[in-house]
Structures are given as structure tokens and as C-alpha cells.
Amino acid sequence: MLRINELKLPLNHPEPALREAILARLGIQDADLVDFSVYKRSYDARKKAAIVLIYSIDAEVRGEAAVLARLKHDQHVMPSPDVEYKFVQVGKPAPGTPRPVVVGTGPCGLFVALVLAQMGLNPIILERGKIVRERTVDTFGFWRKRKLNTESNVQFGEGGAGTFSDGKLYSQIKDSNHHGRKVLTEFVRFGAPEEIMYVSKPHIGTFRLVKMVEQMRAEIIRLGGEIRFETRVDDVLVEESGGVRQVVGVRLASGEEIATRHLTMAIGHSARDTFQMLYDRGVYIEAKPFSIGFRVEHPQSLIDVCRFGPNAGNKLLGAADYKIVHHASNGRSVYSFCMCPGGTVVAASSEEGRVVTNGMSQYSRAERNANSAIVVGITPDDYPGHPLAGIDFQRELESRAFVLGGGTYDAPGQLMGDFVKGRPSTEFGSVTPSFRPAVHLTDLATSLPDYAITALREAFVAFDKQIKGYYKEDAVLTGVETRTSSPIRIKRNNDDLQSLNTRGLFPAGEGAGYAGGIMSAAVDGIRVAEAVARAMAAK
């Protein structure tokens, strides 16, 4: 099998043109092309009137060795790499070894559990929230009736925070072992559209994610895993001998104890009480950078035209996204994060008396507005103190947002033009906000630190040079975005992925500071599952 990269064709090329382009690139006759498939398809939209599709193709040809020899100087033609997932080869655990325990059922926890179950290691999975269908009812109830369930919401429950998101399945992580391919393959098996295997920016959307999560749960159980919902871990049991700390179990909120010597904590970026518990138990934790800002809504049609020009609306391109960054004069970086084309801004609170925003979209990306977090990077120097000081900082900003929004879980909002000019907003313009329960117009100047407000005001104007029309007077800002990533890192060893100072504890995924999004979290879950399997087999 041959891999052909950088095969370029016009956006609206006829179907036979792809086969013809393969033949021309390889210099072979039609009869010598046995079969081919699209490995990856992206696009180049720098010239809006002449958008180009860029393909990576796997082709089966007659006389493959001769073709490779003839094209040995063509860096875009090579043998197709083997991307099939290979399970780590380890021995069986010693008789009597307690089962591995996985805490959390976000993308990371689910893939830890799935791979362990596929290896016959019968994991026990503990989730503080509800099954995904019941969680969806609770979450929609909060959006519609302002009734917050602190254990079942956008942050907590089966599927993790990624369930109520755009369902993006792309990442910039290094993935030499092709673990990302394993993630995509499993997602397709559990109900995702097959196109995620080859489009450059695959996404699934919330409703499809719900069904996939249910199918993954059923497979884990079928393979011998055990999943307990509404089961919060309140303590990690650790024994110390000869200066070595070793996990020996967990204690649940019910008081029940479960023995294990292999505990994966895939708890997500909002499990603040669990972070505190681990810190109190002496697990090594350090503060890390994250970002703060607002959700910004524009008409999706504006973004489509800005990005695709006369090709706006083309089905192959779909709803346009964007990625922008500005280095402000005060030294702060401002950038777009978690851009949701044709989506909605959602209430993502998990604690009473605090307002948090996030973005979500369905597979169709057909809603009226585009939304993105526009955020300012901050570091532990901005919230000095103990390793959990970033959590205190987040809580302070979320409490401010609650008050600015009227104290009813409405989000504080402001029109972009008013924000830049430093005046309160009193009525909406052409952009209707999508956030529910509602957006309360106010002045966002006090919602974030002064350095962030200054950088954001400068950036919104500067972004207009990158996307013409981005600085739109009546675009809607909704506050606040504080959960861009975990404010802490539960440090682990690079070789065995166990906690720096607690054997048997495997910090994993976004909450531990080792991922950022569905794909990177799932890939980290696979890596951690492999590490757990190796540790269980060690003599």
C-alpha cells in the first residue's frame, strides 16, 4: 500500500478527478490502480475564490516496489505507515491482585476503562455523576429553570465535560504511536460518522456523543468492567513503608472502601473538591497556567463569508471556524479557544452561586451564531500562593459573574462595541445571544482583572485585521470563561505515568494537566491504560 500526500484538487472537482490525479501522480495506468481510500482530506482557503482540497491517499497498486523506486525522490509518495493499534504485551497480574480502579468517565476515563477491559483486566469505574441520559435531563433543566444539580451538570456525569461541547476530535499533540487513530476507530464503532476518519477537523456534536458514550459503557461492561454511577470518591487510601507511599484503595462518600493498588484519577478540570482531597493526602500537585475571558458570538454567516468568500455554504466546507491570536501591548496573549461554528453558548456552572460559560454545537452546526472563547493567558504569578490558588482565583471570577448577571444564574453580557468603549450595554442589536437561562446586559469591566480587560479591548479591534468584520459593534460577549484547562497539574513520572510521590496513582487527562480536549484526553487515557497494565504485570 502506498501513501500519497499533498494531492491537491479544486473544491468542486468531479468525483473521477481524484482517481485521475492519483494515476497522474504515480505515473501508472488505470488498470494498475487496484484500489484507493482517502486517509485525510483538508482544505486551503487562503484564496477564497479558489479553495483547494488537499488529500492524503492510501493506494493499492500493481508493481508497488517499482513505483516506489521510480518515485524515490518524491517526498509525498511513500509506503503507507501501519496505524493499527497494537496492545502492549505484558504478562498477567499475579493471582489476588486487586482490580484496577478508574475514577471519572470523561473521554480519558472511558478510554482507560475500555483499553483495560479489552486487555481482560476487568476495571472498576467510579463516576460521581449520573448516566448520560439522566445527566442530560439535569443539565437542560438548569438551562431552562435555573435549577443547578452540583453533581450532575455540564462538568459532572457520564461522558465528562466533552459531552456538552462541539465534539471536536482534532488535536496538536504528538502521536507517533497513532493512538489518535485508535480513538477515531472506536468512536466510529460506537456510532460516530465514518467521515471522522478522514476529514481534517472532525467533530461529532452533543447528541451523537450521548449515544456513543452509552455504547462505550455497554462494551466496557460486556468485556468485564464494572461501572458505578452517583459514586463519589471522597478519599484515597495510602500506606507508607520505607519512605514509599503506595495507594491501597479508595473510600467512597457512602463510607464503602474498595481495595486497589492501581488507581487512575481521570477527574476532569472541575473536580475541585477532589483536587483538594488529593492535596490534603500529600499527593504532589503544582499550579499551572490557564486562561480567562469571555464567549463571543457573531452571526455564523459573517464568519462563513469572511473565511470562504463566494464558497460560503459549500457542504464540503461546512460552517466556518477560525483561530486567531493577538499579542497585546501589555504583554498578554489573547487568543480564540474552543471555537464552535453554528453552535450555542451554554451555562457550565458546577458550584452554587457561580456562573461559567462554555460552547456547544450539534453535528449539523446549523445554529444561527458562531461562538468562541476569547481568552487571556495567565500564569501562577497572577494568583500566587499555594498550588490550588488557581481554583480560588477561578471561583472569585465566577462569583463576580454570578452577581453581575443578577444573581439568578443569568450570565453577564455586553456588546463588543460598548465593551471596547467602556460603557454599559442596555439593549441587544442584530446578534441574539444563545446562552440560557438568559444574558443580563451590564458592564463587564469588573468581571476580570484590569490586565485582562485591557488586553481584550485591544484584541477585539486588532482581530478585525485578521477577520474582516470581526470587530462588530453588536457582537455579544458573555462572561465568564474560566475553565479553559485545569489550574493544576498532578505531576507524574514520564516513564511509568505514576504520581511523583505516590505509587499506584495514575493522574490522567485534562484534570491532571495532561490533556486539553476530547482527542488529547482520550489519547492520554490509552497511554495511562497501557501504563496500568504494565504496572499490574510487574513482579
Q: Considering the chain, what percentage of its residues have pLDDT values greater than 70?
A: 100
CATH node for 2-79: 3.30.70.2700
On whether the 101-286+488-536 domain is CATH 3.40.190.10, my answer is: no
- How confident is the model at residue 173, as a pLDDT? 83
- How confident is the model at residue 539, as a pLDDT? 57
Instruction: Answer whether 0.75 is exceeded by the pTM.
Output: yes
* Sheet order of strands, 33-44 included: 33-44, 52-61, 2-10, 77-79
- How confident is the model at residue 164, as a pLDDT? 86
Q: Is residue 299 reached through a cis peptide bond, with omega within 30 degrees of 0 on the bond before it? A: no
What residues does each domain of the chain span? 2-79, 101-286+488-536, 289-481
Contact 409, 347 (CB under 8 A): yes
**80-110 exposure pattern, b = at least 16 Cβ within 10 A, e = fewer:** beebeeeeeeeeebeeeebbbbbbbbbbbbb
**Residue 31 buriedness (CB in 10 A; 0-12 / 13-18 / 19+):** exposed
Instruction: Using 70 as the pLDDT threshold, list the residues of the chain that sit under it.
Output: 539
First-last CA distance in the chain:
41
Distance CA 507, CA 266 (A): 7
CA distances in angstroms from 39 to 183, 205, 436, listed in the order given: 15, 22, 39
Quickly count: other Cβ atoms within 10 Å of residue 29's Cβ.
9
Distance CA 388, CA 289 (A): 12
Distance CA 334, CA 234 (A): 37
- How confident is the model at residue 377, as a pLDDT? 97
356 grid coordinates: 461559567
Q: Which amino acid is at 224?
A: G
- How confident is the model at residue 500, as a pLDDT? 97
- How confident is the model at residue 26, as a pLDDT? 97
